[in-house]
Chains A and B, each alone.
Chain A
Amino acid sequence: MNREHDFELNSEDEVIDLHVNRREFLEMTGTGIFLFFFIGKLPAYAQERPGLRPQLNFPADFNAYLKIGADGRISCYTGKIEMGQGVITSLAQMLSDELDVSLEVIDMVMGDTDLCPWDMGTFGSMSTRFFGQALRSAGAEARMVLLELASEQLKTPADALSTENGVIIDKKDIRHRLTYGQLAQNKRIERHLTGKIAVKNPADFKIMGNPVVRKDAREKVTGKAKYAADIQLPGMLYAKILRPPAHGAKLIDVDLSEAERVKGVQVVRDDDFIAALHKYPDVAELALSKVKAKFDTPLLDLDETTIFDHLLKVAPEGTVLTKDGNLQKGAQESRALFEHTYLNDYVAHAPIEPHAAVVNIQGNKAMVWASTQTPFMAKEEVAKELGIPAKNVRVMTVFVGGGFGGKSMSLQIVEAARCAKLSGKAVQVAWSRKEEFFYDPFRPAALVKIKSGITDAGRINLWDYHVYFAGERGATQFYTIPHQSTVVHNSGWVAAPGSHPFATGPWRAPGNNTNTFARESQIDIMASKAGMDPLEFRIKNLSDQKLLHVLRIAADKFGWKPAKAPSGRGFGLACGMDAGTYVAAMAEVEVEKATGTVKVKRVVCVQNMGLAVNPEGARIQMEGAVTMGLGYALKEQVRFKGGDIFDHNFDTYELPRFSWVPEIETMIVDDKNAVPQGGGEPPIITTGAVIANAVYDAIGIRMFQLPMTPERIKKSMKKA
């Protein structure tokens, strides 16, 4: 399995005990029926991960629970967080359907480290795949427990009872009934669920599979939804922190006197960490601007053009992911050989909500509100920074304004803790857009080198694939090729010091955008050489039935007519797999030759994600992923010199806007008998490749680097 997440804590030997004292939560939540359940697979999988630091002692008994209150409300306590991907709604849908209650009575209590059992974090399209399955089973089993409790009270055998919208009814006498809330009155019942109860048959779904209004929609359209920077505490100060001009720069001299003279400002310092604090963020910023600081900035002769040679030079030995046949033989037998290198630049996560955190220390306890995908990791890091036991730290994740993998570190949270410790006040740290661009762990710049070959019959005979710095996700090819090898140089998205001049991290479907772009471009190049339609060529070389199926459906929906590329139509296609989901995309583009501008007119995206529990939610994710993907395909590129990031804001770093967005048609092949797979990430993997292939079809120019900016397209046209 792919590397989904890096735990970046410092100590090698430290053991963090994640077992929880059950009483610690339950005292907070009073009477009711408590049902504990275990996600199982997820922590176990994390535990197997090599190189995990520190040693985490994972909970073995439960990592989520349900509470049925006397008021009939059902609460689900989970460490997962809502960042726009819609799990606050889709998880509630699953639970309400299995438990047979209306969606309105479900309260999702998410990402609060005091109320919710430990959770690894929200990433890797795992919430529905793993947690959702466990939650459904828990809902079904909770319903059985309620029937059993009602059977005792009603003195009626459980099999003579049925449930209907939160009420247990005697089938023979419908006046003989109890609500779920009545069962919970004046009681405290704790049950450990076995996780072995079968879930509903899709044919019996009442809530799952049907469109519903998002549970968070009303709060979000009225401005009531709270994000971390919206948390204001009495006496709280806003901190603005002194930043180096470049990564790696060292503070050599500083004069704080002028900043300290700003009325009401408190300046704190701990070695190189300097911050101006004020009850207004604008005044704190003004004070910070008066700090006179000199930095020693290392000269690093790396920029967005030289980085690729550098990366090849420092690349680690590869790890062979897959190998079959004999590469030499494959080359000898091939009629035509193809050797190409594909590049992609560093890309920012750029959520519209910058990182923010509020920390309030009281005695030896700390309360934290933060925009984070990993609240439990943040808890450990704050405890470490403050030198207090982790159990004294409570992290509350409010709504997160977009994550995409970028909010998995805890830097801003640790900074807020540090400021709170130094100032003795509650402190909010909310990064400016410039800070956001500076500290974003970018999607790594990466290279893929492919040597491949085809036979006279249009069959792929050779595939020699090396990926550098993107990681293994999506690297394994799935075509039927007798002689093949896939080698990964640097696993995952973080590399050894000296590789990248700044931090890199997981970016929506990490690695797979790079790998799918390279693979699907190379496939198209071979198809064209073979004189074949790119769809026909893929069908000829594929045996995976699920992929063939999504490709055929996409072709049908798109109205794909076979033609050898470049046909001048501007049609492209690409397919791939991610997080267990199969994706096929087709696109139509128009290239303005004079300017090199690509206009994407239409995208069809089809996916098989197993059982789609919330098809409308999945479609929203698909549209969002296709749209976000336009950025890395066409424009998004971080410019830098050494550790100095030149992009500070959205004037130079352009995100997809309304005018870029094509007509997007999505379709989900609902594979009801399969388990649910990932939905948030897979549909973005094909966007780069599908546009690159469509550009080639339009103007006969093959683009080997993402993003395909107008300048690059014009340059390639000139060369051709």
Chain B
Amino acid sequence: MEESVQFKLNGKPVKMIMDSDRKLLWFLRIDLGLTGTKYGCGESYCGSCTVLVNNRAVQSCQTTLKDVQGKEIITIEGLAQNDILHPLQKAFMDHDALQCGYCTPGMILQAYSLLQKTPRPSASEIVEGMESILCRCGAHNRVILAIQSAAKEIQGGGLI
């Protein structure tokens, strides 16, 4: 249904008249050109399309514009502030926690959501928290290390 939809995206207000049943994934990628959010499976099985809605990871392929009405969305493009990388982004780089990089945006945002809930996760809590995100290249163990190291940095107030 065409209706007025508004939300905050990467800190900026977005307002438009749009079919509110459209999926957030396509709105971000096609209408806004924010292609860091990836299509992987379209049915919520892989997590490549993960974004943050009110700081919680959601799969944008299953989220409609109606679902995010009035909420705050962060995509991978909005994670770095003024070109300063988020500790998770930096840790993924430092630990080589990626190969082809296609699952990486979803991986990082899922980890962000995890750290919101559990600021100092154990390895098994990371496994549980990240289980829904698929990576075919097999970077899993490095992702776990990266998340632990980012958690430490965030806790330590930016120093590591």
Is B43 part of the binding interface, using a Cβ–Cβ cutoff of 8 Å?
yes
The answer to whether A213 and B102 touch across the interface, beta carbons within 8 angstroms, is no
A401–B30 contact, CB under 8 A? no
Task: Kindly state whether residue A616 has any CB partner on chain B within 8 Å.
Answer: yes
Q: Please, how many angstroms separate the alpha-carbon atoms of A232 and B103 in the complex?
A: 20
Provided the pairs A650-B46, A659-B127 are in contact, do residues A623 and B39 lie with their beta carbons within 8 angstroms?
no
Quick check: B134 and A433 within 8 Å, CB to CB?
A: no
Return the CB mask of B17-48 against A: 1 if under 8 Å, else 0. 00000110010011001111111111101101
Residue interface mask A414-447, B partner, CB < 8 A = 1: 0000000000000000101100000000000000
A188 located at the interface, meaning its Cβ lies under 8 Å from any Cβ of chain B in the complex? no
- Expressed in whole angstroms, the minimum distance between the Cβ of A624 and any Cβ of chain B is 3
Distance between B37 CB and nearest chain A CB, rounded to angstroms = 7
Q: Is B80 at the interface (CB under 8 A from chain A)?
A: yes
Spot the interface stretch: A47-55, A59-67, A347-355, A454-462: A347-355
- The minimal Cβ–Cβ distance linking B15 to chain A, given in whole angstroms, is 19
Given A83-B100, A353-B38, A401-B100, the answer on whether A222 and B77 have CB atoms closer than 8 Å is yes
Interface positions of B from 127 to 160, Cβ below 8 Å from A: 127-128, 130-131, 133-144
Does the CB pair A651–B100 fall under 8 Å? no
Q: Complex formed: what's the CA distance from A86 to B138 in Å? A: 13
A214 touches B96 (CB 8 A): yes
Interface positions, chain A 335-386, Cβ under 8 Å from B, are 350-354
Judging by beta carbons under 8 Å apart, are A399 and B100 in contact? yes
Query: Given the interface contacts A222-B85, A650-B41, A650-B46, does A628 sit within 8 Å of B138 by beta carbon?
Result: yes
Q: Tell me if A657 is interfacial: C-beta within 8 Å of chain B.
A: yes
Residues of B contacting A657 in the complex (Cβ-Cβ under 8 angstroms) = 131, 134, 140
Question: Closest CB of chain A to B3's CB: distance in Å?
Answer: 17
A350: which of B23, B105, B136 is its contact (CB, 8 Å)?
B136
Let me know if B136 and A223 touch, CB within 8 A: no
Give the Cβ gap from B75 to chain A, nearest Cβ, in Å.
7
Q: Are B26 and A282 in contact (CB under 8 A)?
A: yes
Of the residues A217, A224, A655, contact of B136 by C-beta under 8 Å: A655
Q: Give the docked Cα–Cα distance between A216 and B89 (Å).
A: 13
CB of A217 within 8 A of CB of B45, answer no
Report the minimal beta-carbon distance from B149 to chain A, rounded to whole angstroms: 14
Residues of B within 8 Å of A280, CB to CB, are: 22, 26, 30
Judge whether A15 is part of the interface by a CB distance below 8 angstroms.
Answer: no
How close is A509's CB to chain B, nearest CB, in angstroms?
14
Q: Is A191 engaged at the interface, CB distance under 8 Å to the other chain?
A: no
Residues 55-86 (chain A) with a chain B CB within 8 angstroms: 83-86
Output the least CB separation between A93 and chain B (Å): 14
| A45 interface residue (CB < 8 Å to B) | no
* Smallest Cβ-Cβ distance to A684: which chain B residue: B138
CB <8 Å contact, B40 and A353: yes
A623 touches B92 (CB 8 A): no
Chain B residue with minimal CB distance to A663? B141
CB of A510 within 8 A of chain B? no
- Contact between B85 and A624, CB atoms less than 8 A apart: no
**A649 within 8 A of partner (CB):** yes
**Chain B positions 83 through 112: 1 when the CB is less than 8 Å from some CB of chain A, otherwise 0:** 001000110111010111111110010000
List, in ascending order, chain B residues with CB within 8 A of A430's CB. 39
What CA separation (Å) do A373 and B136 show in the bound complex? Answer: 16
Beta-carbon contact of A658 and B100 below 8 Å: no
Instruction: Determine whether B53 belongs to the interface, using a CB cutoff of 8 Å to chain A.
Output: no
- Does B45 contact A649, Cβ atoms closer than 8 Å? yes
B52 at the interface (CB under 8 A from A): no
CB neighbours of A432 from chain B (8 A): 42
**Most-contacted residue by chain B among A219, A222, A433, A655 (CB, 10 A):** A222
Closest residue on chain A to residue B88 by CB atoms: A221
- Contacting residue for A221 out of B30, B75, B108, CB 8 A: B108
Which 3 residue pairs are nearest across A and B when measured between Cβ atoms? A223-B36, A84-B100, A627-B138
The contact sample of 25 A-B pairs, CB cut-off 8 A, is A84-B102, A84-B137, A213-B93, A217-B93, A217-B98, A222-B77, A223-B34, A223-B37, A223-B75, A223-B76, A223-B77, A229-B39, A280-B22, A351-B100, A351-B102, A352-B103, A354-B40, A399-B101, A402-B102, A433-B42, A620-B96, A623-B141, A624-B139, A625-B138, A628-B137
